[in-house]
Structure 1
Amino acid sequence: MKNIIKKVKSSAIVKNDGKNFLHFFLAFTVIFVALAVIIIQVMQLGMYRATDQNLHNLAQNRVFLEEAANNQFGTSDSQDSGFYGPNNSVIFYDSEGKSFMPSSESNGRISTNFVMSRLQKAMKFNEKQINTIQTVSVKNPYGDNWHYRYLTTSQFIITNSDGTVTPVYVQIFSNVDQIQDAMSRAMWVIVTTMITFWILSVIISLYLANWTLKPILAAYEKQKEFVENASHELRTPLAILQNRLELLFQKPTATIIDESENISESLSEVRNMRLLTSNLLNLARRDSGIKIEPEPTTATYFENIFNSYEMLTENAGKKFSGNLKLEGTVNLDQALIKQLLTILFDNALKYTDSEGEISVDVIKNGGFLTFAVADNGEGISDEDKKKIFDRFFRVDKARTRQKGGLGLGLSLAKQIVEAYNGKITVEDNKPKGTKFIVKIRVDSTISNPAKIFQKL
């Protein structure tokens, strides 16, 4: 048991499960990180848009700038130099980048606004920031820091008392504490939500990794079962052949007539092996895809098949009836359809006793063609109906082997039907026996009278 568990853990499928999980997990992580960054960027642009537009408008407002200059240079009666309204502040710089605003330590007329003095100490002029909007935080010793968006511009000129002009740089500030608070709360919600969904993506990644492996595991198990069944089917005839040949060597002087039974049984097993290998080859080819090659088909095609079936049932001491209702010409792959019908007919022939009855119906209704193959044999239980199309499945293995069945025919029949995107079902044939029903879609081109084939 420990060896089995060790093999399972070291198998390529289990290792690939970890790789699948990692791929899904990384994919979800990239998606959530990218989504969070995009949302935050868009939110910031949206929240600061009105503030940034106000800064640009103030930079173009000469009346506002002149009032600010008068206040800062001491030519105004206002005692709040550089402070304009609840949110806006202005600092002027000369051509060398020095502030015109007197510091709080000067002996001259100073700003009585505490916020503005803090802002003056925190700011340094940078010519590279002209005409760009920046963000700055000013330390507040009594509480949370103040946050500002500011614009630096050089579009203002001061006229001196002697008539000369001085170009100055202007920094216009707008307080964004409320926006910053809202941004912080929004970012906390976004980050928390993203982390929650990111953790959820771990669970989803595990689920998807397992889900994607289900068909692989199912195919792996079917392949393993197929190989085991094929090996088992080959082992039995090989063992019989070996025993029969060993018996022949034990009697070197015996004639062919004396050992006819051994020779006959050996030939029978060789035929079974040939049939098995042929069916295995057909299954392998069908697994790679069935190519349908349709050709115009009339009722005559099915009548010829019915004639062959009638001869086979008569030789087996049984009865056959065929019902053909086909108007016009349909496009069918005649080789595949014949193989399909023959598999169903051969299955019915094997599982009906002497004097049994077998019927084959071919009916075209609209764009669909329906085949129904029924017998009055022993029937199939409801439990076995679920497995009847599995490879190597046989209802009664001992009896099936006596009849030459390998459990591959119905699997081939199902593959042919699926190639037509059709449907095959099995049900009880009242009052006794089994009925297989196949329904496929076909195209109709020419209209002919319906033909009924009925021989008892």
Structure 2
Amino acid sequence: MNKTLSRKQRRNFFLMNVSAFAVIFVFLGMIILQLLSQTAYRETDQSITEMNHNPEFIQQEIARYRDDSFPENFHKEPPKSPSSNRFNTQIILWSKDGEILNKDAIGGRFSQMENLRLQTSQLEEIQTVTIQDDEDELVFHSLTKEYADNEIAYVQILSNVNQIQHSLTNFRAIVVGCMIVFWLLSIGISYWLSAVSMKPILKAWQKQQEFVENASHELRTPLTIIQNRLESLFRKPDQTILEESENIAQALNETRRLTGLTADLLTIARSDANQLMLEKEAVETEAFLTDLVVPFQEMAELEGKVFTLDVANSPTVVIDRKKVYQVIVILLDNALKYTKQGDTIEVISTKRSKLWELHVKNTGPSISKEAQEHLFDRFYREDRSRSKETGGYGLGLAIAKQIIEEHQGSITVKDVNPHGADFCIQLPLN
């Protein structure tokens, strides 16, 4: 992936993350402020409603107003409602002409309510009333109702909400400030997330590039050999097939190698695309392995190598017979290739807890720790010159790993003292 495309993709990730955080913070702030606005005045409105439906409070205020002419009763206060704040709540008695009747009972508060006017357009409904005096603006929640009395025409219940309004204003400022601060922090987080998001893409792109380059390199050599051999035949048109049998045989040999390589590449491609279908069945591993190793035992005997099979504790396992067969063949083929006369190859099958564990050991050359980390990578070969001699492409172990992982199992390798390698496959029984 070129740098321009990489920067563009990262910028797109960054913008998407920043936009997502912004949308989340905006919706979160709107929800918080909306809920706060709906609940902040609930207790005040509930107090006004209770007082409106309880005639005792209004009657006490009327009695207090009518007794105000007697100095000894001037400071009489009605009982307080359990859910109301009488300090912030005031009952106003109005005449038909819109005059406040209980001015004396209101006392010092009347100076703040001189500009209050009677409004009868929305009776029995809670509304917001604003009174502007010389020093400040007073905000009340108010409910006005008609009153059947010769002198008193309307009763108004006022509850001051300035303190609630100031608290709401401060809280809104805090919420908006916090959203801005955290959104600025989210810009840094988004930048980091965009870098993290690009890592698997760049890694996959790099692997794809390496795969294409390695595949092209491996395909080029046999194709070049085939081309040279065929061109050699055209340069000698009078030669017989027998005389050119060496060239024909080499071309056929490279063609077979190409066929195997393309089959391996197809297997890897299908696995990458999650198209590697498994046909699982219950398999008796003792009989399965006994039949499988027969040709390898014969080849080992011909090459002067010791081949042993231990299936005394082999379980029954649910696997794709053909795919697992392919994996074991890859391991045994490698064991034969990388051992010499007098070396030993062991196949040990056993049951361990809920797993089938299969070891393919050999006393050939040990594998370095660095090589063990990359041994299952595609096209990896520790000794390239030796791989050319054995005809390997470095795909066998990569295919084996993919097949085992498709079975939800694992394949590992470790050294064997004093030298050699132990490939271990673990597959779930079911």
Task: Report if TM-score (shorter chain) is over 0.5.
Answer: yes
Secondary structure of 1:157's aligned partner: coil
Return 5+ residue gaps in structure 2 as ranges: 79-85
User: Would the alpha carbon gap of residues 307 and 172 (structure 1) be closer, same or farther in structure 2, given more than 3 Å must change?
Assistant: same
User: Would the alpha carbon gap of residues 78 and 68 (structure 1) be closer, same or farther in structure 2, given more than 3 Å must change?
Assistant: farther
Distance 2:357 2:163 in 1: 75
The one-letter code matched in structure 1 to 2:277 is K
What residue is the counterpart of 1:87 in the other structure?
A: 88
Distance 2:218 2:111 in 1: 97
What residue is the counterpart of 2:218 in the other structure?
A: 233
Question: 1:314, CA displacement in angstroms?
Answer: 2.5
The one-letter code matched in structure 2 to 1:147 is V
User: Would the alpha carbon gap of residues 146 and 216 (structure 1) be closer, same or farther in structure 2, given more than 3 Å must change?
Assistant: same
CA contact (8 A) 2:357 2:427 kept: yes
What residue is the counterpart of 1:262 in the other structure?
A: 247
User: Would the alpha carbon gap of residues 35 and 133 (structure 1) be closer, same or farther in structure 2, given more than 3 Å must change?
Assistant: farther
Secondary structure of 2:307's aligned partner: strand
What residue is the counterpart of 1:194 in the other structure?
A: 179
What residue is the counterpart of 1:215 in the other structure?
A: 200
Distance 2:147 2:18 in 1: 56
The one-letter code matched in structure 2 to 1:101 is I
What residue is the counterpart of 1:286 in the other structure?
A: 271
What residue is the counterpart of 1:156 in the other structure?
A: 147
CA contact (8 A) 1:71 1:77 kept: no
Question: 1:338, CA displacement in angstroms?
Answer: 0.7
CA contact (8 A) 2:261 2:393 kept: yes
CA contact (8 A) 1:89 1:116 kept: no
Q: Does 1:8 align with 2:9?
A: no
Question: 1:186, CA displacement in angstroms?
Answer: 2.9
Question: 1:424, CA displacement in angstroms?
Answer: 1.2
Secondary structure of 1:296's aligned partner: strand
Distance 1:136 1:428 in 2: 88
CA contact (8 A) 1:325 1:364 kept: no
What CA deviation, in whole Å up to 9, does each residue of 1:37-83 have, x standing for no partner? 332333344443332222112223434435656888x9844999xx9
- In the superposition, the TM-score normalised over structure 1's length comes to 0.80
Question: 1:34, CA displacement in angstroms?
Answer: 2.4
What residue is the counterpart of 2:380 in the other structure?
A: 393
The one-letter code matched in structure 2 to 1:49 is R
Question: 1:390, CA displacement in angstroms?
Answer: 1.0
Secondary structure of 1:113's aligned partner: helix
What residue is the counterpart of 2:119 in the other structure?
A: 125
CA contact (8 A) 1:356 1:377 kept: yes
What CA deviation, in whole Å up to 9, does each residue of 1:293-332 have, x standing for no partner? 2222221111111222202322444321111133553322
What residue is the counterpart of 1:147 in the other structure?
A: 139
Question: 1:391, CA displacement in angstroms?
Answer: 0.9
What CA deviation, in whole Å up to 9, does each residue of 1:113-133 have, x standing for no partner? 221113x1xx57262x44433
The one-letter code matched in structure 1 to 2:249 is S
The one-letter code matched in structure 2 to 1:139 is Q
CA contact (8 A) 2:123 2:146 kept: no
What residue is the counterpart of 2:16 in the other structure?
A: 23
What CA deviation, in whole Å up to 9, does each residue of 1:67-107 have, x standing for no partner? 656888x9844999xx9964223455678xx63338x9xxx
What residue is the counterpart of 1:172 in the other structure?
A: 157
User: Would the alpha carbon gap of residues 339 and 139 (structure 1) be closer, same or farther in structure 2, given more than 3 Å must change?
Assistant: same
Distance 2:382 2:146 in 1: 96
Q: Does 1:337 align with 2:324?
A: yes
User: Would the alpha carbon gap of residues 269 and 252 (structure 1) be closer, same or farther in structure 2, given more than 3 Å must change?
Assistant: same
Distance 1:281 1:55 in 2: 79
CA contact (8 A) 2:94 2:118 kept: no
Q: Does 1:101 align with 2:100?
A: yes
CA contact (8 A) 1:71 1:78 kept: no
CA contact (8 A) 1:391 1:407 kept: yes
Distance 1:213 1:37 in 2: 33
Q: 1:113 aligns with which of 99, 110, 113?
A: 110
> How well do the aligned residues superpose, as a CA RMSD in angstroms?
3.1
Distance 1:55 1:306 in 2: 93
Structure 1 range deviating more: 358-367 or 33-42? 33-42
Q: 2:281 aligns with which of 295, 311, 314?
A: 295
What CA deviation, in whole Å up to 9, does each residue of 1:388-447 have, x standing for no partner? 11111111222212211011111111111111211111111211121111111104xxxx
Q: 1:204 aligns with which of 176, 189, 193?
A: 189
The one-letter code matched in structure 2 to 1:114 is S
What residue is the counterpart of 1:349 in the other structure?
A: 336
- In the superposition, the TM-score normalised over structure 2's length comes to 0.85
Distance 1:124 1:245 in 2: 111
What residue is the counterpart of 2:81 in the other structure?
A: none
CA contact (8 A) 2:355 2:429 kept: yes
Question: 1:360, CA displacement in angstroms?
Answer: 1.4
What CA deviation, in whole Å up to 9, does each residue of 1:263-296 have, x standing for no partner? 3322222121111111111112222333332222
The one-letter code matched in structure 1 to 2:196 is W
The one-letter code matched in structure 2 to 1:113 is F
Question: 1:359, CA displacement in angstroms?
Answer: 1.5
User: Would the alpha carbon gap of residues 328 and 441 (structure 1) be closer, same or farther in structure 2, given more than 3 Å must change?
Assistant: closer
Distance 2:252 2:70 in 1: 121
**Percent pairwise identity:** 36
Distance 1:114 1:292 in 2: 90
Distance 1:111 1:382 in 2: 92
Q: Does 1:59 align with 2:60?
A: no
What CA deviation, in whole Å up to 9, does each residue of 1:135-167 have, x standing for no partner? 34433433x5323222x232532234xxxxx75
Distance 1:189 1:379 in 2: 67
User: Would the alpha carbon gap of residues 126 and 263 (structure 1) be closer, same or farther in structure 2, given more than 3 Å must change?
Assistant: farther
Secondary structure of 2:357's aligned partner: strand
Matches within 5 A, 1:363-378: 363-378=350-365
Distance 2:305 2:378 in 1: 28
Distance 2:70 2:61 in 1: 10
What CA deviation, in whole Å up to 9, does each residue of 1:178-204 have, x standing for no partner? 333333333333222222222222233
Number of aligned pairs? 413
User: Would the alpha carbon gap of residues 311 and 112 (structure 1) be closer, same or farther in structure 2, given more than 3 Å must change?
Assistant: closer
